[in-house]
Structure 1
Amino acid sequence: MTVMSLPFSLAFLYYSWQRDYFLAIAFLLLSSLMDVLDGALARATGRTSRAGSFLDSSIDRINDVIIAAALPSIGAPWFLAFLWATGALITSTLRAAAEMDGIKGEGVGIMERGDRIVAVLIVFVIRIVESNMSLPTPKYSVALVAGIDALIWITVVQRALFYGSVKALWMGSVESSIVLVSILLGKAYDVYGFLGATGILGYVYLIAKWLSLGFRYPLSVYDSVLDSLSLFSLVWLQGAPFWLFYVIRMSMYYLSLRGTLFSSIRGKGPGVR
């Protein structure tokens, strides 16, 4: 059911760009419902596993970026969508990095994933009101996006300081530097720069999540191949293909956790969503 949230998120993105905001909101609610039901069902049936937790959290990161990619459809510049998505990814990476040190990372920060989903729903409702009022510019909804961006990045700082984890602080600093460099190079203002930067951060998140489960990195020679191809993509479409390699690595790690690929791996670690 985790995977079922993804088609609904994509439908949300499609109808957002079609300016059919009512349908967009409906599909975002369905996507969120699938995610909630998945966790509840897994706990109720006792079928929680590291494989399921890894897949769930990995798809959540894809959904985070899809949601941010819908923001320009309401008139927000790509720069604000860029800050939204990168801040969300760094927030999740900090949690995964803290878990490497055995630190529980849930419930830290003023703008976690659930809060961001509620916030984007409010943004779209305000955009609908603005459309019905025939306002010349969507200034209120865009201003709200900017304010939420600030809260997301405050959450990044909160987590970096709260965890007291050297790994979290180091990974947060590296990813924040990637964001800053992307902005300084002018890569944060169009869709390719958005996909490239978020793809890199998402890719780093996968590695952090894998390590938080207690496994080694690299898992195999295929990791090195994927890393090399991913870095090469920086000169092609500004790194946007990172998301292709994200899906490949996510699938590879998921199958490994299921024991159907590289079954010789061993490790210990909590399967935290």
Structure 2
Amino acid sequence: MLGKLRKYVNEILPKTVGKYLSKIGLTPNAATTIGFLFAILAPTLAYFKFFIAIPIMIVLSGLMDVVDGAIARATNKTTKFGAYLDSLTDRISDMLFFLALIFEGLNPYLSIIALGFSEIVSYARSKGELLGIKMEGIGLLERSERLILLFVASILALLKYYLVGNIIIVIIAILGAITVYQRSYRVKKALND
């Protein structure tokens, strides 16, 4: 959904932010790890009722997820392990963000359903790409959109608008289900062609 913006970011960031951060010694895998540490902090701080940290950790983790790719492209250090590490930590980070929202007071059952569809969205992409089908940009709810919605839900929960926050979680689940369908349709169509 944010494909056009992603294309712009992928062209500009490596030449600017990626180049600068690589010069000060930050590697793509280090950026991925830092982003993952922010994700770990989200439920940890939420458990201790430091709820204001949740949206901040979501933003910082999401930024590092963009930065790691920018550094990799700026330095021509894109590696298969780096891609694997990025994908793996993204999946675990999603789980940690939903856990933080549960600690913050959002419905655990809805959160588990939304998390499940989020993980299946990612699985559908990786399985499709294993079959040799380009999957980037397919579907309504890629990770960037999911992080934006998680950020909004965390702000709403912080303000104690739990009903609206839970509606956002339901939207994540519904958009996730639609995205799974869209990606499955894309795979079926590509394989039939």
Q: Which residue of 2 aligns with 1:10?
A: 40
Segments of 5+ residues of structure 2 without an aligned counterpart are 1-30
Q: How far 1:13 moved relative to its partner? A: 1.4
1:114 to 144, 155, 159: 144
Deviation string 1:57-113 (CA, Å, 9 cap, x unpaired) is: 111111111112222123223221211211111111111111122110101111111
* Match status 1:144 vs 2:171: no
Give the helix-richer structure, 1 or 2: 2
C-alpha spacing 1:101/1:53, structure 2 compared with 1 (3 Å): same
1:52 to 82, 96, 110: 82
* Match status 1:90 vs 2:110: no
The one-letter amino acid paired with 2:114 is: W
CA distance in 2, matches of 1:142, 1:4: 29
After superposition, residues 1-273 of structure 1 pair within 5 angstroms as 1-130=31-160, 138-164=162-188
The answer (yes or no) to whether the contact 1:98–1:165 under 8 Å persists in 2 is no
TM-score scaled by length of structure 1: 0.55
CA distance in 2, matches of 1:165, 1:58: 28
TM-score scaled by length of structure 2: 0.76
Give secondary structure in 2 for the equivalent of 1:119: helix
Deviation string 1:112-157 (CA, Å, 9 cap, x unpaired) is: 11101000111111222336xxxxxx22211221222111111111
Please tell me the root mean square deviation across aligned C-alpha atoms, in Å: 1.9
Q: How far 1:166 moved relative to its partner? A: 8.9
CA distance in 2, matches of 1:25, 1:49: 30
The answer (yes or no) to whether the contact 1:6–1:63 under 8 Å persists in 2 is yes
How many residues of Structure 1 are paired with residues of Structure 2 in the alignment? 161
- Runs (4+) off by over 3 Å: none
CA distance in 1, matches of 2:168, 2:128: 30
CA distance in 2, matches of 1:25, 1:103: 34
Q: How far 1:165 moved relative to its partner? A: 6.7
CA distance in 2, matches of 1:22, 1:128: 7
CA distance in 2, matches of 1:47, 1:154: 34
The one-letter amino acid paired with 2:121 is: T
The answer (yes or no) to whether the contact 2:42–2:53 under 8 Å persists in 1 is yes
CA distance in 1, matches of 2:129, 2:114: 23
Q: Which residue of 1 aligns with 2:24?
A: none
Give secondary structure in 2 for the equivalent of 1:70: helix
The answer (yes or no) to whether the contact 1:109–1:159 under 8 Å persists in 2 is yes
Q: How far 1:162 moved relative to its partner? A: 1.9
Give secondary structure in 2 for the equivalent of 1:6: helix
